Amino acid sequence: MYYCHMHSPVGKLLLAGDENGLRILDFQDGPHPLRPGNGWQEDKQPFGQVMAQLAAYFAGRRRAFDVPLAPAGTPFQLKVWRALQTIPYGETWSYGELARRIRKPTASRAVGAANGDNPIAIIVPCHRVIGADGSLTGYGGGLRIKQQLLELESGERSLF
């Protein structure tokens, strides 16, 4: 697995992946940063396209990503993560809505758990999922970053 760090307007990010695609995009400034594993090789070259697209996103010039993704998860998690990628830029869904979209309307809690286990932050936009009452709920990067990303996407804020 290859990895690199990227500095961004929302803090330091860890990118990791292999020949199949990006496997991890993790916030490094939070309370539980992911550290490179044994045998991981530091190399920015495989992440050039990812970093360029993230920079354009943070600058407000990109609304969708088109980089190869290869998250590791259960079939249910992968289904939830694919559904997250269908939430339009600038919109939010509740956990219940996300559960309905994957045809598991009674699985809001399981959807929430899968959302929390999303290994590819920002690109797989778990920040677009909020509570049924419109409140911001947990986020791996912290609620401040979740709010910043939602404000960026709503046009309320520039991150640069």
Domains and CATH numbers, the chain: 2-58 (3.30.160.70), 75-154 (1.10.10.10)
Name the residues annotated as catalytic: 126
Give DSSP secondary structure letters for the chain.
-EEEEEEETTEEEEEEEETTEEEEEEESSSSS---PPTT-EE-SGGGHHHHHHHHHHHTT--S---S-B-----HHHHHHHHHHTTSPTT--EEHHHHHHHTT-TT-HHHHHHHHHT-SBTTTS-GGGEE-TTS-----TT-HHHHHHHHHHHHTS----
The whole-number average pLDDT for the span 85-102 is 96
Say if residue 150's pLDDT is above 80. Answer: yes
Beta bridge partners of 26: 14
Q: Contact, 53 vs 67, CB < 8 A?
A: yes
pLDDT at 138: 82
Residues sharing a CB contact under 8 Å with residue 110, sequence separation 6 or more, in sequence order: 76, 99, 104
Q: What is the pLDDT of residues 53-93, one digit of tens each?
A: 999 999 999 999 999 999 999 999 999 999 999 999 999 99
Residues in the chain: 160
Say if residue 149's pLDDT is above 90. Answer: yes
Work out the pLDDT band at 99, boundaries 50, 70, 90: very high
Q: Which two tokens stand for residue 143?
A: 């609620």
Please identify which residue in the block is written with the tokens 């289904």.
79
pLDDT at 158: 64
